Structure 1
Amino acid sequence: MATELLSPLLPQRRRGLAVAAAVPLLALLLVVVIFFHAPLPTTVSSPERVDLTLVAGAREKGAVCLDGSPPGYHLRRGFSSGSHNWLIYLEGGAWCNTAKSCFARTVSSFGSSKFMRAVKFSGILGNDHLENPDFYDWNIVVVRYCDGASFAGDAEGEDPDGTKLFFRGLRIWEAVVDELMGKGMDTAKQTLLTGCSAGSLAALLHCDNFRRRFPQEVSVKCLSDAGFFIDVKDLSGERSIWSLFNEVVHLHNVREVLPKDCLQNKDPTECFFASELIKSISTPTFILNSAYDSWQIQNVLAPDGSYPGQAWSSCKTDIRNCSSTQIDVLHGFRKKLVSKLKVAEDKRNWGLFIDSCFTHCQTPFNISWHSPISPRLDDRTIAEAVGDWYFGRRQDVKLIDCEYPCNPTCSSRLSTA
C-alpha cells in the first residue's frame, strides 16, 4: 500500500512543545478548497507511487534507525534532459529529545524502517511538468527520517526499560549519499538538496558537505522549506524551542555537523538554529518559509500550557480567529523571523520566498508548490521563484511578503501542520 507523503510532523507531546499531527495531501486539498470556495484545479494529477529501497550494508556501517533497522529512501529515476540531475529531499518529522520519546518513535516509520511503505510523490517531487515545471524529469530521492535529530547525531542510548537505541542520523546521511553516488549521482550535472521542517534543518546542516561531494563545475544548491526555526520566548516567557533543541543536541551528540566557526563562539544549541547555520553556509541556498509559520506559532510561540484558559486555542488553530491583540503578537513573531533572515538577504546568489500564509511546509504539495491557487509573491508561485533562482532566470530572487492579511493569495489558507 502506498501512502501520501505527509506533512512532516510526528505526533508527540512534551512540556512547552506539543508537536502537531501530520496531514495527508488529500486532506490538505479538501481544506484549502473549502476556504477558497473554489473547485479542485483540473491540472492536479494522481501522485506517483515510489517504492522503498533499504540502504545496503547499513548495519555494518552502524547507519541505522533508532531501533537498529536499516534506513531507507525512495528513488524515482530521471528521464530526458533531467537524467543527469538529482534532487535529494530529506523527510521531516520533528525531533525526539529523551530516551523515552525516541523509543516511542520505534513503533513508527519515524524510528524504524519496518513501518515504512511506498510513498506518493507530488509538488517538487512530482513528474508532471505542469505541476513541477523545472524538476519534473530529474532523479528524485526522498530520504526517510528515522533518527529523530535531523540526520545529525552519532551516539547510542537506552530507553528506561533498557532497550538499546541508536542515534545515528549522521551515519544515515553519509550511507545514503554514498549509495546514491554509486547509483549515478557521482556524474550529476545539477543537484538540489532540500527537505521540509526537521528535514529542511537537516538540509542546512549538510548543505556545504553535500557541495563538497561534487566537482566545482557541478551546480549544487540547497533549498530550505519551513526549517527556519527561531529562538523565541513563548507566551509564558519560556524558551521552549531552545530547551528542546538543547536536549536533542546533547542526547544525539550532533556536534560533529555544527559549523566550527559557530562552535568557537557559541553554545552548540545556538549553532543548531538556522539563523546561526546560515552565517556559515557558503553554498547558494534558498530559504522558503512562512513569516507566520503555523507549526512555530502552535508549538513554539503558543504551546499548550503557556497561556491561561482557552484564549489562544482557536487563534493558533486558525489565524482568522485571532483578535487584534493576538495578531499584534504574531506580527512581533514575524518581525523577529524576518530580522534573522537579514544574513540570507545580504548573501549573493541566495534566494528568499517569505510569505504571509498561515502554513508549514509548501514544497511537497501540488496545491502550494505550483497550482492556480498557490500563494504568490511578485506574481510568482513558489515553484516559479525557486526555478528563477536556481537557473538564474532572474537576478536577486528575494521576496518578503507584507504583514498578514495583505496577501489575497494566502490570507485564508489553513495550516498544513
Structure 2
Amino acid sequence: MMNVNAVLVAITLALLTCAPRCIYSDDQRLLVNMTLVRNASAFGAFCLDGSLPAYHLHRGFGGGARNWLLQFEGGGWCNSIKSCLDRANTRRGSTRYMSKWEVFSGILSNNASLNPDFYNWNRVKLRYCDGASFAGDAVYKNGTSLLYFRGQKIWEAIMLDLLPKGLGQARKALLSGSSAGGLSSFLHCNNFTKYLPSTASVKCLSDAGFFLDKRDISSNHTMRSFVKDVVSLHGVDKNLDENCTASSLNFPELCFFPQYAMKFITPPFFILNSAYDVYQFHHILVPPSADPQGHWNRCKLNPAACNPQQLNTLQEFRRDMIVAMGLSYKYSRRGGFFINSCFAHGQSESQDTWFAADSPRVHNRTIAEAVGDWYFSRRATKEIDCPYPCRSTTCHNLIP
C-alpha cells in the first residue's frame, strides 16, 4: 500500500509540475497546450481570418534551461484570394480551428533517449496560419471579405511574447521548421539573431524546406509562377532579404527560394532534405498540369514502377538539388546538411525518422545525430546519400 501511495504522489507531483501547459497521453506522448498571443492585435498580427496567432511552449530544465529551439509549423501556401478564403476557414488559416494540444515528438521531444541533444531545451512550436511562411504583410478587403496577410507581424508578435519568458536571455538557440516552416527558417534566420543576446550561439535548420526553382517535365516554371503569386498577394517582397532582392533585379520573388536566399544568411545553417522530396516530386517536377494524361501516375505512387526515362528525370532532379545546395556550402565550414534518398517530406518531428532504432541513416548516422553533431561542432556534417534505390532499406514514409 505504501508503494502504491508513493507512486500516486510521484505522478501527482509530475502532473502539477507540468500543468497547465502539458499532459501525457496514454501512450506517453507529450502534449503541450496552446498559448494565444493576447496582445498581437496591438501589432496588427492576425491569422488569415483575423484570429489571434499562437504557439506551444514546453519549458526547458537543467542544463538546457537557457537554451531555446523554435519550430515553425508547415502547411503549404495560398496564392489567390479564393484559396486564401478557403484556407481561412481551416486550421491552416485560423487558430479557432486548430487543435489546442500539440504532440511534441522528434526534435521537440523531452525524452533524452529520443532527442538526446535538445530534450531539455525550451521548445516552441509556432502555429502557421498566414499562408506565406510567416513572411507577408498586407490586408485584403472588398466590402464583403477580409483577409489578413500578416505572417511577418505574427513572427514579430510571437518573438516579443517569448522574450520576457526567457528567450531574451538565451545562451543557445536553434530556429527550425518543416516544409513551409522549413522555408520560414531560411526567410527569418538573419532576423532571429537580432532578438537574442550577442553572446548567444544562434543557428538555423530547415527540414524539407529547400523548395527548388526548377522547370517541370513540360518545361514550364510552374513553381516559380506559384511563388510569384504568393509573394505579390501577401506583400512578401518587402520582407525578403534586401541584399538578395537587390541582386535579383526585377524578380524579387526569386528570393523566396532558398537556393537564391541562403548565400545571404549569416548564422550557421543546416539543411535536412530528401533528394526525392515527395511534395516537390508531385508539385514542382510533375504537377498535374504538366501530366494531363497521367503518364506519371504509377511512378508517383510507387518509384519502383518508374520507367527508365522517368527514373532518369528523378535523378536529374536530385542532381540539381544537390548542386543548388552545394554551391553555398562548398567553402563553408559552418554549414551542414543531411540529404537522404527517401521519398519523404518532413523528417524532424516524427520520432521514427528523427531518432529511433530503425531511423533513416546516411553513413550510419541518424538525423538527430547529424544535427546534434553539427550544432555542437562535434564533427563536420555534410551527409549526402547515394541515389535511389541504394539506401531505400533505411527509409520511412516511402510512397505508397
How far did 1:314 drift?
Answer: 1.9
Q: Residue in 1 aligned with 2:215?
A: 233
Could you say what secondary structure the match of 2:365 adopts?
A: coil
Residues 99 and 158 in structure 1, CA contact (< 8 A), matched pair in contact too: no
- Structure number having the greater helix percentage: 2
Matched, 1:305 2:289: yes
| Secondary structure of the corresponding residue to residue 215 of structure 1 | coil
Letter in 2 for 1:128: N
Q: CA deviation at 1:102?
A: 0.5
The alignment of Structure 1 onto Structure 2 pairs a total of residues equal to 370
| Cα separation, 1, equivalents of 2:81 and 2:394 | 39
Alignment partner, residue 135 of structure 1: 118
How far does residue 325 in structure 1 lie from its aligned partner after superposition? 1.7
**Residues 226 and 361 of structure 1 are in contact (CA less than 8 Å); yes or no, is this contact kept in structure 2?**
yes
Cα separation, 2, equivalents of 1:254 and 1:163: 21
Aligned twin of 2:15: none
- State the Cα deviation string for residues 120-163 of structure 1 (Å, max 9, x = none): 1111011111111111111110000000000000001137x831
Are the counterparts in 2 of residues 65 and 167 from structure 1 also a CA contact under 8 Å?
yes
Given that 2:170 and 2:197 are in contact with CA atoms closer than 8 Å, whether structure 1 keeps it comes out as: no
Match of 2:37 among 55, 59, 77: 55
2: CA distance between counterparts of 1:208 and 1:261?
12
2:388 match: 404
Q: Distance in 2 between matches of 1:214 and 1:269?
A: 28
User: Contact 1:356–1:410 at 8 Å: present in 2 too?
Assistant: no
1:9-408 correspondence to structure 2 within 5 Å? 46-117=28-99, 118-158=101-141, 162-266=144-248, 267-346=251-330, 347-394=332-379, 396-408=380-392
| Alpha-carbon distance in 1 for matches of 2:86, 2:386 | 41
Counterpart secondary structure, 2:339: strand
Query: What SS does the corresponding residue of 2:247 show, helix, strand or coil?
Result: coil
Give me the TM-score of the superposition, normalised by structure 2.
0.90
Letter in 2 for 1:360: H
Distance in 1 of aligned mates of 2:270 and 2:97: 32
Q: Which amino acid aligns with 1:109?
A: R
Give structure 2 stretches of 5+ with no counterpart.
Answer: 1-26
> Is the 2:342–2:392 Cα contact (8 Å) retained in structure 1?
no
Does the aligned pair in 2 maintain the 1:358–1:415 contact within 8 Å? yes
Q: In the aligned structure 2, how far is the partner of 1:412 from the partner of 1:74?
A: 27
Letter in 2 for 1:227: G
Distance 1:415 1:365 in 2: 16
Q: Secondary structure at the match of 2:273?
A: strand
Q: Secondary structure at the match of 1:344?
A: helix
Gaps of at least 5 residues in structure 1 are 1-44
2-side partners of 1:369 and 1:265: how far apart? 36
Query: Which amino acid letter does the alignment assign opposite residue 288 of structure 1?
Result: L
CA RMSD of aligned residues (A): 1.5
Query: What TM-score, normalized to structure 1?
Result: 0.86
Q: Residues 412, 90 of structure 1: CA spacing in aligned structure 2 closer, same or farther, 3 A cutoff?
A: closer
> Alignment partner of 1:264: what SS?
helix
1:93–1:199 contact (8 Å) kept in structure 2? yes
Offset, 1:73: 0.5
Residue 305 of structure 1: SS of its match in structure 2? Answer: helix
Q: Which has the higher contact order (CA 8 A, sep 6+)?
A: 1
**SS of the counterpart of 1:367?**
helix
Give me the whole-angstrom Cα distance separating, in 2, the residues matched to 1:67 and 1:308: 34
Q: C-alpha separation between the residues in 2 aligned to 1:321 and 1:127? A: 40
Q: C-alpha separation between the residues in 1 aligned to 2:337 and 2:68?
A: 22
Instruction: Return the alpha-carbon distance in structure 2 between the equivalents of residues 329 and 353 of structure 1.
Output: 22
Offset, 1:303 = 1.2
**Identical aligned pairs, as a percentage?**
46
